[in-house]
A and B are shown apart, each in its own frame.
Chain A
Amino acid sequence: MNALGVVIAVVSVAFVAAAGVYVTAWIDLVLARAVAGLEVRPLDALIAPLRWAAATALKARTTTERPDAEAWALAPALLAALAAVGLAAVPLAPGLLAADVANGIVLFGAAMALVVVAVFLQGWSPNSPLPMIGGYRFIAQGLSYEIPLAVVLIAAALPARSLAIAPIVTSQEHLWNVVRQPLGLPLYLMAGLGLAFWGPLALPEGQDLAGGSSLETSGASLLLWRAAQLLVLVAVAAMGTAVFLGGWLGPLLPGAAWMILKTLFLLIPLIATRHFVARVPTERYVVVSWAILIPLSLLDVFAAGIQALMAAR
């Protein structure tokens, strides 16, 4: 309503984003050590992201022969800004919503659609063959996960008769969407992995491209890029919690606590896919996404539609 409200919104999103990125980095490290058979030292792992960040920040930022300097500078900032907007669309508790728009699903969808631009710019700007291949691959990946992502969110909006997130959460008072729309959460998580180019869908940054779109990045740019990527993962988990796992609903604890617990619960399998699922081959992923995942998502929306009609009767 006023400048103070906006400032509070900005600060709170910044705080949640920083905490979320840090926790994600910590969980990833702990899981990596556990899967690698190393001794997991959770307290050491707490400070390890800071060590990596400090070591990376101390390196000089390199450039290439004829990069697109403005786009290269913009890419991590754009990715982080889009992820922050996506995170801002998710309510922490009834009444605690940074971006209180009438159609939060559309805001989230719009922010996530532009992620393709940010990652492509990161790959294309250095004017180097391997990052460029990574950038163009990401467009193929992005166009393929976009439709299932949007459609399952629409399916979750059907029982709430609204595109705003808060009504969607309250519509799950009797039954969470993960139960009454069983196809929704798995499809959403698969699309979310693609959005954050994480784990099986880390196509633009795969080891086969020797680091891909981040190959020529170093120093603060690399640090900011990783932070932005983790923030996208946090935003995906937060939105998934609100839309499928009932958001702030739950007994005993305050709403915000439930929201945080459930987001962590969703973050862990998202992060773990990196250590258990191999990277998918680009072309085959595109075929599977269009031939299988999109029809499944459309089936999901129709099942949700029929359910909503019968409930209204």
Chain B
Amino acid sequence: MGLKTAFARLAAGAPARCFAIVGAGADEIAPWLRLDPELAIVDSPRAADVLLVLGRFNEDTLHAAAAVHDLVPPPRGVVSWSPGHEAARGLPFTDAVALSDPSEIGSAAVRLRDELLSGRRASSPDILPDVDPAPWRGVGPFGQGGAGMTGGVPYGRPLAGRANDRDGLKLDQILVRVGPFLPPFPPGLMLDVKIQGDVIQEVSMPAAALDDGSSVADEHHSSEAPGSTEAMTRFAAVQHDPFIAALMRPVPVADLELARARHHLAWLAEALRVSGLEAYGRRVLKLARTVRPEAAEPVDDLSRWLRRNLSLRWGTSGVGVVSASQAAALPGGPVARAAGDGRDVRSLDPAYQRLGFMPVVLEVGDALARWRLRVAEAQQALTLAKRSNGSVTTPSGLVEGLRGPMGARVSASTALVTMLPELLVGMEWGDAVTAVVSLDIDMAEAAVLHDVAAEGRAS
């Protein structure tokens, strides 16, 4: 028995380290992956054993998924899951363990990892071709790929050029292609960030950023009539069920508000993790999964703990301020309410009016305000759910969703994504990440939801 077998046997008892690639349609599963005791979600593919591929992808994100797959060091394996009845169609992984039941993800990952480490299963082969990014060998006077000291493409890539900066120094500026699957950013968000030092100078979005997997699905569903039940059901799998349902028919207030509280707490868990408090974030995630309107005290305790934690305040106060005019340009939602704009579709609903609903509004508009607002809204949602006593909403074509009004012409996520470039310029990288996390953007909603409204109104 060699050292390798001994190590493999020792490693077999640990959770499988996974890097999660989340596409469209995996909203119900992705936030809860960290709760699975058999999984350990890591921040970098190079630290992973297994690649989790969840949801549907379009061409650009598929290429990125293949690139990330090749970054996972061998021995590596892929576990994939796709919503609905479609298998992982179009995915380039030859050796993936394809699942239809999301609850099996943990055990499948651990089983795959054990097989890989013990040698019973071969490592998943490279997908992209083994070619240098640009031909450089032997080109130029020193074989560095071009002419001049920094000219050409040494080792396949050029060197960065200089750009002006506000303090007068003209130093180099690099372009960081924040790809679809960089952990602190929402999955699917693609930004081209020009950064000098650690301060962001320019942010632009490649054209594909607002597109999601529905274009892959569309080819196969073109026979559906727009607004038909099949189309709505398909979009329901992409979005959060009670809210889509509330567009079409009366839904119990308790269901809506409980889903809202759960989502806000799950968001808080991720925000805490990005702030460095991983263990506490996991505690909050467990609370998000198990909270009920009758047992809402832990949320109050959480709110008190957050208020008293000075380090969190230090990291978020004054960061990513959304001005009142920017908030007015948004269709509504927690980000706008944290900046003083009190629009909330629930104020117009008779069931909520009977419950005495007043939207939570804060003035400052920075990341701390957004944190506090979402916690306060979660508390308010649980109180509403407890007192609702079975009352139902009145469908009116608009529903206050998790991030803003749903059924509107422009979804909140689309508006937030459009606002990102002007918000992030001039911010230091860490502050920029705090700001983006506090905005709670959903890329699938940004792309898809404005279609739902059009289809919903057509039916």
Contacts and interface: CB of A to CB of B under 8 A. Distances in A.
The answer to A–B direct touch (Cβ < 8 A) is: yes
Interface of A: 31-38, 47-48, 50-52, 54-55, 57-62, 65-66, 129-130, 133, 136-137, 199-200, 202-203, 206-211, 214-219, 222, 274-284
B46 A200 contact: no
B283 A37 contact: yes
Contact of B117 (A38, A58, A209, A275): A58
A158 to B, nearest CB: 32
Given A48-B14, A129-B176, A209-B430, 10 more contacts: A32-B279, A36-B280, A38-B37, A51-B13, A136-B198, A207-B273, A211-B47, A215-B46, A276-B309, A278-B312
B165 to A, nearest CB: 15
B18 to A, nearest CB: 12
Interface stretch (B51-59, B69-77, B350-358): B69-77
A62 B155 CA distance: 17
A66 B73 contact: no
Contacts of A54: 6-8, 10-11
Nearest to B12: A51
B426 to A, nearest CB: 13
Contacts of A66: 154-155, 157
Contact of B184 (A32, A57, A208): A208
Given A57-B7, A58-B11, A278-B309, A207 B183 contact: yes
3 tightest A-B contacts by CB? A279-B276, A55-B11, A208-B433
A59 B49 contact: yes
B415 interface: no
Interface string B29-60: 00000000100001110110100000000000
9 contacts: A33-B279, A59-B74, A66-B154, A129-B174, A207-B183, A277-B311, A278-B277, A278-B311, A282-B198
Q: How would you classify the secondary structure of chain A's contact residues: helix, strand, loop or mixed?
A: helix
B208 to A, nearest CB: 21
Nearest to B175: A129
Nearest to B117: A58
B394 interface: no
B14 A55 contact: yes
A65 B282 contact: no
Nearest to A207: B274
A137 B13 contact: no
Contacts, number: 157
B43 A215 contact: yes
Contact of A51 (B11, B184, B277, B433): B11
B176 A36 contact: no
A206 B280 contact: no
A58 B7 contact: yes
Contacts of B14: 48, 51-52, 55
Interface bin, chain B: 35 or more
Given A35-B280, A277-B311, A62 B46 contact: yes
Nearest to A215: B44
Given A35-B283, A54-B11, A57-B7, A207 B315 contact: no
A221 to B, nearest CB: 10
Interface in B268-284: 272-280, 282-283
Question: A137, A200, A208, A219: which has the most chain B beta carbons within 10 Å?
Answer: A208
Contacts of B133: 65
B434 interface: yes
Contacts of A34: 279
Contacts of B286: 36-37
B314 to A, nearest CB: 6
A276 B277 contact: yes
A47 B11 CA distance: 10
B195 A129 contact: yes
Nearest to B272: A278
Interface in B117-142: 117, 133
B315 A36 contact: no
A55 B73 contact: no
Contact of B73 (A33, A36, A60, A202): A60
Given A51-B11, A278-B315, A281-B431, A37 B282 contact: yes
B429 A32 contact: no
B4 interface: yes
A211 B43 contact: yes
B436 to A, nearest CB: 10
A206 B276 contact: yes
Nearest to A37: B283
Interface in B7-27: 7-8, 10-11, 13-14, 17
Contacts of A222: 47
Contact of A281 (B174, B278, B280, B430): B430
Nearest to B287: A37
Contact of B315 (A33, A215, A218, A281): A281
A58 B75 contact: yes
B250 interface: no
Residue from the set B6, B46, B183, B282 with the largest chain A CB neighbour count within 10 Å: B46
Interface in B70-86: 71, 73-75
B156 interface: yes
Contact of B155 (A35, A65, A215, A219): A65
A60 B4 CA distance: 12
Contacts of B277: 275-276, 278
A59 to B, nearest CB: 5
B197 interface: yes
Nearest to A126: B46
A280 B311 contact: yes
Contacts of B73: 59-62, 218-219
Nearest to B174: A129
Contacts of A130: 176
Nearest to B270: A207
Nearest to B309: A278
A54 B3 CA distance: 10
A275 B183 CA distance: 20
Contacts of A59: 49, 73-75
A36, A133, A199 interface centre (most CB from chain B within 10 Å): A36
B280 A200 contact: no
B202 interface: no
A304 to B, nearest CB: 28
